[in-house]
Amino acid sequence: MSTTVSPLAPKRYPKMPEIPGVRIATAEAGIKYKGRTDLMVMVFDEGTEVAGVFTRSKCPSAPVDFCRQNLPGGKARVLVVNSGNANAFTGKKGREATALEAKAAAAAAGCKENEVFLASTGVIGEPLAADKFSHLLGDLVKRAEPGAWKEAAQAIMTTDTYPKYLTAKADLGGVEITINGIAKGAGMIAPDMATMLSFVATDAPIAAPVLQDMLSKGTAKTFNAVTVDSDTSTSDTLLLFATGKAAERGAPRITDPKDPRLGAFRRALNRILKQLALQVVRDGEGARKMIEVNVTGAKAARSAKRIALSIANSPLVKTAVAGEDANWGRVVMAVGKAGEPADRDLLTIWFGEHRVAHQGERDPDYSEEAVSAYMKRDDIVITVDLGLGRGKATVWTCDLTKEYVAINGDYRS
């Protein structure tokens, strides 16, 4: 957790409402950090349903394996998250730590172990001493309270410079329901997924398979469309919990993903996922600028996404933006190396509203002065049209600065 807040941090934070059926508590367990919270517990009332999306890394953490094992049950009563140690690449010791943690959490919440969800974030390869904090879980569950969303977001931070939390309202069958979300992430961010950790909760009465359908679809253009450094974490976990408490106020229980009453909820959920994902990018390690990459005119949407990620992940494009240099030649390079259909002589590139390249050469109206002035902004938009078809995609990234190297050069020390 940095002492210097990113210049791209939100200027205002929302006041987080309570979600009926959710209580939260945090503690200083001293796992790695001193003088700050690093342990968070979220307790759910009986009947809470859950959905999840996880990293596609072939070296997933022990908590990811544990969550995947419990997810088919569709029920959740308690979530335990620690920061400072990822419990990843820890072998048998990692599995033993999750087992110990799950047993303690189940006892504390008075539930079955398959209703427990775990997440860890921090250093990879260090065994997690779960016995150092598992005894705290009973007290945490007892003193958990509904309003501690900001505190929850702070407790799960690692190299983040600010907590990430959002709320939204939506109509479900004529009843107003609430969605709250928190996230953490600043480095080792790349599809698929790209959030490190994110936890979203709602009081809507929605069945687990419907939650899963919405979450899986919702990540495609949100958490799976952001990248800080092209590095996919071992620990990425996005969980969505629905307590169903709004049923007491007349909200209908939704059991079919095609139910037309879901429209407003789906839009609100996707909005929260996108804004949390963008907050992660805006807090990219050492980031000074946010970059939106739009690719249009590709042969197919998948092709457009690959080209957009090739641009967004290029260290040369990212350092050019950091240096406020309108070096569109690096964008041409990134398009060319993506391995997707492209025609040099049909390519058009914009930086913001400034067309810099057209029909395979520099735009005749190109003005270095005007484009250089644009590059001084906090938010930069790069648009590429391939002129080949109707495929399009948008991804978000940040610039690559000296601070990124400094943060990651001594991350373990």
User: Over the stretch 60-90, which tens digit does the pLDDT of each residue have?
Assistant: 999 999 999 999 999 999 999 999 999 999 9
Q: pLDDT category, 196, cuts 50, 70, 90?
A: confident
φ/ψ (deg, to 5) at 407? -65, -45
Which candidate in 195, 219, 222, 383 is catalytic? 195
Q: What angle do CA 301, 320, 195 make, to 5 degrees?
A: 50
Cα gap 124→89, rounded to integer Å:
6
Token readout for 21 is: 């059926």
**Residue 321: which pLDDT band, with cuts at 50, 70 and 90?**
very high
Q: Is 49 annotated as a binding residue?
A: no
Element (H or E) spanning 85, and its range?
strand 78-85
CATH code of 290-409, in short, is: 3.10.20.340
Q: How far is CA 399 from CA 88, 281, 291, 372, 374, in A?
A: 28, 10, 7, 16, 15
Domain with CATH 3.10.20.340 in the chain: 290-409
Q: Within 10 A of 76 (CB to CB), how many other CB atoms are there?
A: 31
Please indicate whether residue 24 or residue 159 has the higher confidence score (pLDDT).
24
Mean pLDDT computed over 33-42:
95
413 is in an annotated binding site: yes
| CATH superfamily for domain 22-282 | L-amino peptidase D-ALA esterase/amidase (3.60.70.12)
Please check if 243 is assigned to a binding site: no
> What is the total residue count of the chain?
413
CB proximity list for 314: less than 8 A, separation 6 or greater: 330, 333, 334
Q: Is 408 annotated as a binding residue?
A: yes
| 285 marked as binding residue | yes
Instruction: Mark whether 319 is an active-site residue.
Output: no
Q: What single DSSP character describes residue 229?
A: S
Q: Where in the chain is the domain with CATH 3.60.70.12?
A: 22-282
Cα gap 38→61, rounded to integer Å: 18
Does residue 211 or residue 286 have the better pLDDT?
A: 211
Alpha helices in 249-293 (DSSP H): 263-282
